Structure 1
Amino acid sequence: MSRDVERYPLRNTTLSAEDDALWNWAQNARVGSRQRLHQPRSEAELQQLLRNTQGRVRVVGSRLSPGRMLCVDEEAVLVDISALSGLLAQDSDSITVGAGTTLNDVYIQLTAMDRMLAASPGVIAVQKLAGAMATGTHGQGLHQSSLADEALRIRMVLADGSVREFTRGEPDFPATQVTLGALGIVTAVTLRTQPFRIYTCHKNAVSADNLEQDLLRWNQEYALSKAWWFVDDNLMHVWNANEASEQENAEWQRNGREVVKHTDQGDDSLNSTIDQTLEQMHRDTQIHGKGGKQFRTVTRFRDFTDVTGDIYQLFCRGIAVPQINVEIGVPLSRTPAVISKIKRWYAAEKPHMHYPIILRCTGASDAWLSPAYGEPTCFFGFVVYYADDGSLSQDGLHFLTEVEKLLAEEGGRPHWGKYYDASRYAWRDLYPHWDDFRALRSELDPQRRFSNDYLTALFD
């Protein structure tokens, strides 16, 4: 197997309903056999399953992660915790939910209570809460960090079937916030909440000439900020949101608590850039016609309508399309220099751009294995979509390889739930508590029941 195919696997497009194999969501990795999949209906059933079985165990969740995180040997036990879901408890400042609850259902429950999380949502809401936390899922905005940073208590079934609850403030708690599934099976999480807020999001197209300074300014001036960088044309599509005014909030309430669209600014300055991007994507994916989901992710950049709504209505708008997604977090203090470095590299090499670079910044994380641990971080995101036949643009993959190399050299930390080349990172140098995490793993799972080849390569 070539290194590229191992790192960026091709997609299987010939699966049938009779196939016993369980694949990850993108269908680019076989996870295991459906016959080995267990769906415990309660925490007690999960405990009994672990006591009655031997060998390795892996939770599969929504299977959105790269296959290497999920794959186990043929005799391993696969666990789906979807039944361990729903609202378990609530008080004025927190909710406790089953770990198998989807993020979408968490948001629905909170909205009904007129509460919200401080953490801005990731764009895809079908993720299970436990999986999103375990991989360091984050949104955008320097006043918050990853979803895992909103946890107050994490309840976990350990390898021997016992239950342990970890509480914020305890020495080991930061290890349990982002675990990659290496410590145990999370069954319930208590999340802190705050009063519900409404935001107005302003959309603009601007030059990237001063991106080094503009990105920092946007994130300082706005509660939430997200930007797409079309490096080819030195242009940006930017979303900046602050809390809505009383008038905007009242208008949202009168609209049945649905998104309010304000007057479209009618900006056509990105039209030629968008057309060029669509043509490149058509060539790369060999897909004809413009109705595909991947093309809708680009055509939305023509829309400059300011909108008012809740944080989930505005930012949890991802279109789930099979893709190779690389995202690297760089310390915010280094971000201006990294942006300048990308500009110089692009000017010299003119690499093939499959999709604009996505820029999202967050505050520092407390979680030991969070890519934003200890300092505010800017996440640089890169996407290459699959063709209909399951192949990938070689030019697009070359771009991913080279830009990851550039960011890794600048102290970047990859998003655990996306694709990356592990050989580029010195984990102990990047994560000050790396050995502390390994020690806790040895204590909680001495026989490595929750390990697989991926985790063994990382920690052992």
Structure 2
Amino acid sequence: MTHQLVAERNWAGNYSYQAPRIAHPASVGELQKLVADAVNIRALGSRHSFNAIADTAGTLAVLDRLEPGISVDAGNMTVTVSGGTRYGTLAAELQRQGFALHNLASLPHISVAGAVATATHGSGDANGNLATAVAGLELVTADGNILSVRRGETDFDGMVVGLGALGIVTQLTLDIEPTFDVAQNVFENLSWDLVLENFDHITTSAYSVSLFTDWSGETVGQAWLKRRSNDPAPGTFFGGTAATEARHPLPGVSGSNCTQQLGIPGPWSDRLAHFRMEFTPSQGDELQSEYLIPREHAVDALRTMRRLSDVVTPLLLVGEIRTVAADQLWLSGNYGRDGIGLHFTWRQDQPAVEAILPLLEAELAPFLARPHWGKVFDAGAAAAAALYPRFGDFIALADPLGSGRKVPQRLSGPDRLRELILSR
């Protein structure tokens, strides 16, 4: 096992971890001893969180030294993988063996356990977030023992999106399906009027649809359509013009590090994410927020965002609108409801962004907007907990698994998420 005693920062560089020690166990056995001996310890994934959810006053455990351990069970159509493995690594191996996941997030660089724990998602009307593929979990609890749970067992739905509060996830078993090809087309400058009038038609027009906008003007900047290659290719698209070269979500930025576009079919593993695994999509010089809103409020929420353009657009690099299917995972942003995700990639001016978040969240509150756990948001404990019908059940679940709240106490640091776990 290796240890670091130096300060570390997250991917965006906006947060410096306060933990005095970072450990890299080389085996599950080493991790079990590390957890059992620790007063406070917490898992640190690919550092793509923009807040303190992964921090602690004790030890951060990074699972990047564990072998990916990718094992396909073709009979049950599942794959088992270590928690620290990145989605791009898993996707490439599944494709090699002729299998696929149902969904990928924008970045394939994120760790499987971290993405699942925060209910991170891709897009698509019929596609649940990444955590909905979880059929089983193995985690090290506060006493250093290993707990294994499977779908259908008591409290399983409360443990999948666990925010790291229930233990350190060492292994996940995910549903898989036969591999499939995807073709990706980009359309530019869609009429906002047509988008609002035809929102359901737009989001059902492909397996996955993302709209990119800065919320200003009369047009939506880009629509990215990812369709299964046996589905019909789009012709015209709600006033948009088909892109004739690779596009990046940010205007004026080369699309060379984005996944293949122009309607050229290829493996799901090379198309469902927005960015290619072999390229770092940016230098991380940004902040991110995201809110999950019930589908029935989608158009009203979009109109509200357009009305807030004068406040939001000056601080925004780009916004993204996605759709996500409902699930039954207690702390998922789409628990019990189909929804849309409003994603904000901000300029890295944290004081300015934090200054407008209270207004943004107040305007989205009538739509029951749930903040993404790993992004920048303002909501405190009472406001956020009220949005999750099973939040109290999750707190109760965390107590015995944490052996006297040892594990929940690891949610330390200045972020409001600390309140969510520690307060009553």
* TM-score range for the pair, normalised by the shorter chain length: 0.7 to 0.9
1:243 aligns with 2:228: yes
Q: Is the 8 A contact 1:367 1:373 kept in 2?
A: yes
Between the aligned partners of 1:298 and 1:397, the Cα distance in structure 2 is: 30
Q: For residue 14 of structure 2, what is the amino acid of its counterpart?
A: N
Question: Which deviates the most, 396-405 or 323-332?
Answer: 396-405
Partner of 2:45: 61
Give the 3-state SS of the residue equivalent to 2:204 in structure 1.
helix
* Identity score, percent: 25
Partner of 1:309: 266
Deviations 1:235-283 (A, max 9, x none): 12111232113999xxxxxxxxxxxxxxx94679x9xxx9xx86xxxxx
How far the C-alpha of 1:414 sits from its partner, in A, is: 0.7
Q: For residue 432 of structure 1, what is the amino acid of its counterpart?
A: P
Map 1:142-221 → 2, pairs under 5 A? 142-205=125-188, 206-221=190-205
1:30 aligns with 2:16: yes
Give the 3-state SS of the residue equivalent to 1:30 in structure 2.
coil
Q: Is the 8 A contact 2:181 2:228 kept in 1?
A: yes
CA distance 1:96–1:333, shift in 2 (3 Å): same
The answer for unaligned runs of 5 or more in structure 2 is 234-240, 276-280
- 2:337 pairs, out of 363, 372, 375, with 375
How far the C-alpha of 1:33 sits from its partner, in A, is: 5.2
Deviations 1:289-332 (A, max 9, x none): xxxxxx6279999x983332223322323323231101100001
Give the 3-state SS of the residue equivalent to 1:228 in structure 2.
strand
- 1:90 pairs, out of 63, 72, 80, with 72
Instruction: Decide which structure has greater helix share.
Output: 1
- 2:62 pairs, out of 80, 84, 104, with 80
Give the 3-state SS of the residue equivalent to 1:65 in structure 2.
coil
Between the aligned partners of 1:356 and 1:424, the Cα distance in structure 2 is: 28
Question: Which deviates the most, 399-408 or 136-145?
Answer: 399-408
Give the 3-state SS of the residue equivalent to 2:316 in structure 1.
coil
- 1:337 pairs, out of 300, 305, 312, with 300
Q: For residue 20 of structure 1, what is the amino acid of its counterpart?
A: V
CA distance 1:38–1:424, shift in 2 (3 Å): closer
Between the aligned partners of 1:350 and 1:66, the Cα distance in structure 2 is: 19
CA distance 1:163–1:299, shift in 2 (3 Å): closer
Alignment size in residue pairs: 395
Map 1:91-110 → 2, pairs under 5 A? 91-92=73-74, 93-110=77-94
**RMSD, aligned α-carbons:** 3.1
How far the C-alpha of 1:88 sits from its partner, in A, is: 4.3
- What TM-score do the two structures reach when normalised by structure 2? 0.84
CA distance 1:383–1:351, shift in 2 (3 Å): closer
How far the C-alpha of 1:190 sits from its partner, in A, is: 0.6
Give the 3-state SS of the residue equivalent to 2:49 in structure 1.
coil
Map 1:347-362 → 2, pairs under 5 A? 352=314, 354-362=316-324
Between the aligned partners of 2:321 and 2:379, the Cα distance in structure 1 is: 22
Between the aligned partners of 1:48 and 1:346, the Cα distance in structure 2 is: 52
Between the aligned partners of 1:77 and 1:354, the Cα distance in structure 2 is: 35
Partner of 2:6: 20
CA distance 1:127–1:434, shift in 2 (3 Å): same
CA distance 1:447–1:322, shift in 2 (3 Å): farther
Between the aligned partners of 2:219 and 2:72, the Cα distance in structure 1 is: 45
Partner of 1:291: none
Give the 3-state SS of the residue equivalent to 1:190 in structure 2.
strand
How far the C-alpha of 1:158 sits from its partner, in A, is: 0.5
Partner of 1:41: 26
- What TM-score do the two structures reach when normalised by structure 1? 0.78
Partner of 1:410: 367
The answer for unaligned runs of 5 or more in structure 1 is 1-17, 249-263, 279-294
Larger Rg computed on CA atoms: 1
Deviations 1:79-106 (A, max 9, x none): 1111233134321111111111111111
Q: Is the 8 A contact 2:320 2:343 kept in 1?
A: yes
Q: For residue 72 of structure 2, what is the amino acid of its counterpart?
A: Q
